[in-house]
Amino acid sequence: MVRLELVEKKAHAAMATCATWAPTNVLYSCSDDQTILKWDQQAEVTGKCCELDAYVTSIAWMPSVGRGVSDVFAVSACDGSFRLVTGSGREEKRVAAHHGACLRVLWNAEGSALYSAGEDGEVKCWSKTGHLRSTLVKAAHPVYAVADGPGGDALAYVCDRRIHVAPVGDAKARQATSWVAHDQVALALDWNAANGLLVSGGEDCRYKVWDSFGRQLYQSQPHVHVVTAVRWSPNGLYFAVGAYDLLKLCDRTGWSCSRESPRSGSIMDICWTADGTQLVGAGGAGALVFAHVVERKHEWKNYEATLTGQRSIHVRDVLTEIDETLDFNRDRVVEMALGYGYLVVSTTTQIYVYNVANFNTPYIFDSPETVSFIQLAEKFFLVLTPAAVAVYTYDGRKVSTPRFAGLRADRLSAPVLSLSPDLVAVVDSTDRRTVRLCDVMTGKPREPAVKHTADVAAVQLNQTPARQTHERQLLLVDRNDELWLYLCGTAEGHKLHTQVDSACWNETSEALCAIADGRLLVWGYPRVAFTDRDLLPGTLTTKDGAEFGQLAQVASFRGTKIVVRRADGAQVTATVAPYSDMLHEYGSQHRWDEAVGVCRFVEDRGCWCALASMALEASNLDVAEISLAALREVDKLQYILYVKSIPSAEARNAELALYKRRPDDAERILLQATPPLVYRAIKMRIRAFQWDKALDLAVKHRSHVDTVLAYRSKYLETYKKTETDDRFKQLNGSVEWSWEQVKSKKDLEKREEAARSGGPPPDKLKLPRFVPAEGGESKDDHK
């Protein structure tokens, strides 16, 4: 269980009111003794920054944008002013901002604007040089806290008992909202850019978690004292809560990970380091509470890695009971990840790559910046820093830096970033409905990008090795809690389910699990949605998820074991049948006889559906025939028999593409044949009643115009209609046709196709019964 490791230091003569971290990891703390002190990373005072002539109420460091490091911070004072001060203590500017005390200052994410809130109930926006831009809010009660929203298009603030969300800048489409948040005055508020959630605290001695629409996700039990401070960690995984002699670390869902009781008085302010591993609380007794997040645990197969201290990791092999202790004496551990036979550890300055077979000789290389997230794949691992996204090999070689126009690495987090053996998926921070796909080896974006209909909340690429899959799959959960599946090569999407709390791919196969509406859903082979979506329900297994409770998250899905983390932090394990893993293994190795044997032994409809889809993807018509026969899908079976009777491979592939509802791909396959199978492409469009496309093909290739007109005439005669299309009217007056000429041209092209493919002559082919013969043509005209 994650917990806090505390160190208390007292250096101020009066109440410590606030603190902030500089980009260089230097801490600045303010107190009612009217001094600002500087602290180093070892929690020792290095000197006095400056003295002020007023009592400081809040402090905020200007964010660093680009390669430059900002050296300016803003402080608000009880005399109604705020000051811009350099890191060396020089006061650059003083601005009279409010009537009464200026209670809070806050920079936006770009550092281009400064917000101030005052005792007079006003919230104002200022330029970074201290010039007034606008007055955003005029309220009847003091505003004690403000928070900048994700994307910078909204501002949240607390006034009396309510939380208000107001649009800022050019966000005219966003509506202002407010809701009653606490039974008494709300004092603290924070909004996280990574997960989009808000946390608030108030005089009713509770803290609460909200989404951006004002829906309450969690409410704590009342504490003994007023909640005076709340603050999210930068990565959005945790938040800290401060009260009198109380400092709590909470999960993003609200439950308490760690509860500590420092003797520091009321925690007036909380600030996190940029890496999210350390926080500081400013105490009412003049002491500062330094807290480190430890006991983070990662598991993979029979290995378990636990962060036991700031600079040590304990690794255990539960099978052999061999323990290893990894010490990092130079720097503290910031982030780590375990999987695929490797342990990757990032400290404040370096990255260590350990092979689980040997923890004595890691690969070590310098980290350009503080790492906030690490994700592992089969051959590569991804590192996220505030400046960039980078992909490395496990021997420490940098492979690529994915880039595209509008990429903002500082706005990315784990849910909106995913790595696979050949692709990196990134949610575009400038357009949350777009998912960019970048090549792992080059870092260049691939087209087409995935364009969704709503804002994307989480993405995840399947981890099947590139040699075992035709097209990479992307699962997507949007803001409406809908689960979608996309094919990355075509950006073709299909909605799998609604009201989804969490979803996860299997690490070794293409199985997919999700928690939705109080149930555990497992799709054994969801790719069938792009082969034959009629078979998709057959691959779905549903289990009761009452034991998981609300707001449960899938932690991992490995083999047959699913680990689910409940909202209270407990982990629950569920198991699934191993057959989908076995079928994927046999199918990827083309061991079709063994795959058929598994399905016959199990006699499960889901297995047969998965095998039929795998066989169709691999163009193995014999196995597809066996599977569809076992499923008693007579119409599909008849169509597969018809496809098997086609002499040329190009035509068979085109018919399979048409079976998968991809007529454009089928047409492209036919026209790219040597020579092009123009008649088959035209007849395919006619069978789909796409007359305009059929005529376009005939005109473009200057062939079979009379064939299109003949079939069009028969269609109008059968359904007793008159011609209304001007193009067909014009051609009917200028082109002469007869069924004898049409039939002779068709027969000639079919004979040439059969001879080229070495197949039987056309008169030996049989048409499936479900395809009706048309007037004026023989029964083999559909082939």
Do 277 and 410 lie in a common domain?
no
Boundary-marking domain end, from 498, 522, 554: 498
User: Exposed (0-12), middle (13-18) or buried (19+): which is 431, by Cβ within 10 Å?
Assistant: middle
Whether the CB-CB separation of 180 and 166 falls below 8 Å is answered with no
Q: Indicate whether 222 belongs to any domain.
A: yes
Do 151 and 265 lie in a common domain?
yes
Do 112 and 232 lie in a common domain?
yes
Q: C-alpha 38: how far from its chain's center?
A: 38
Q: Indicate whether 526 belongs to any domain.
A: no
pLDDT, position 222 = 94
Do 414 and 271 lie in a common domain?
no
Q: Indicate whether 16 belongs to any domain.
A: yes
Buried b / exposed e along 262-296 (16+ C-beta atoms within 10 A): bebbbbbbbbbbbbbbbbbbbbbbbbbbbbbbbeb
Q: Which two tokens stand for residue 137?
A: 């809010």
pLDDT, position 539 = 93
User: Exposed (0-12), middle (13-18) or buried (19+): which is 512, by Cβ within 10 Å?
Assistant: buried
Do 410 and 281 lie in a common domain?
no
Q: Cα separations (Å) of 362 from 303, 315, 358, 359, 437? A: 17, 14, 8, 7, 31
Do 290 and 409 lie in a common domain?
no
Q: What is the DSSP string of 493-535?
A: EEEEESSEEEEEE-SSSS-EEEEETTEEEEES-GGGGGT-GGG
Give the separation between CA 663 and CA 654, rounded to whole angstroms. Answer: 8
- Tell me the residue ranges of DSSP E strands in 2-120: 3-10, 16-21, 27-31, 35-39, 45-51, 56-61, 72-77, 81-86, 91-96, 102-107, 113-118
Domain range holding 481?
Answer: 400-498
Do 284 and 412 lie in a common domain?
no
Give the separation between CA 85 and CA 103, rounded to whole angstroms. Answer: 17
Q: Which two tokens stand for residue 443?
A: 């870092």
Q: Indicate whether 325 belongs to any domain.
A: no
Boundary-marking domain end, from 238, 270, 294: 294
**H or E element, residue 232:** strand 229-232
Q: Indicate whether 316 belongs to any domain.
A: no
Q: Which two tokens stand for residue 243?
A: 């009260």
pLDDT, position 765 = 46
Do 216 and 86 lie in a common domain?
yes
**H or E element, residue 375:** strand 373-376
pLDDT, position 769 = 40
Do 267 and 409 lie in a common domain?
no
Residues lower than pLDDT 50 in the chain? 764-783
Block residue for tokens 């023989």: 778
pLDDT, position 176 = 86
Boundary-marking domain end, from 464, 498, 532: 498
Tell me whether the omega of the peptide bond preceding residue 675 falls within 30 degrees of 0, making it cis.
yes
pLDDT, position 775 = 38
What is the number of residues in the chain? 783
Q: Indicate whether 338 belongs to any domain.
A: no
CATH of the domain at 152: 2.130.10.10
Q: What is the DSSP string of 433-464?
A: TEEEEEETTT-PEEEEEEE-SS-EEEEEE---
Tens of pLDDT, residues 317-366: 998 888 999 999 878 899 999 999 999 999 988 999 999 998 999 999 99
pTM: 0.85
> What is the number of domains present in the chain?
3
Give the separation between CA 245 and CA 223, rounded to whole angstroms. Answer: 11
Tens of pLDDT, residues 696-715: 999 999 889 999 999 999 99
Query: What are 189's strand-pairing partners?
Result: 200
Give the separation between CA 25 and CA 44, rounded to whole angstroms. Answer: 13
Do 16 and 143 lie in a common domain?
yes
Q: Cα separations (Å) of 352 from 357, 360, 386, 512, 763? A: 15, 11, 19, 31, 69
Q: Indicate whether 252 belongs to any domain.
A: yes
Q: Indicate whether 604 belongs to any domain.
A: no
Q: Which of 155, 220, 139 is nearest to 181 (CA)?
A: 220
Do 267 and 406 lie in a common domain?
no
Do 14 and 138 lie in a common domain?
yes
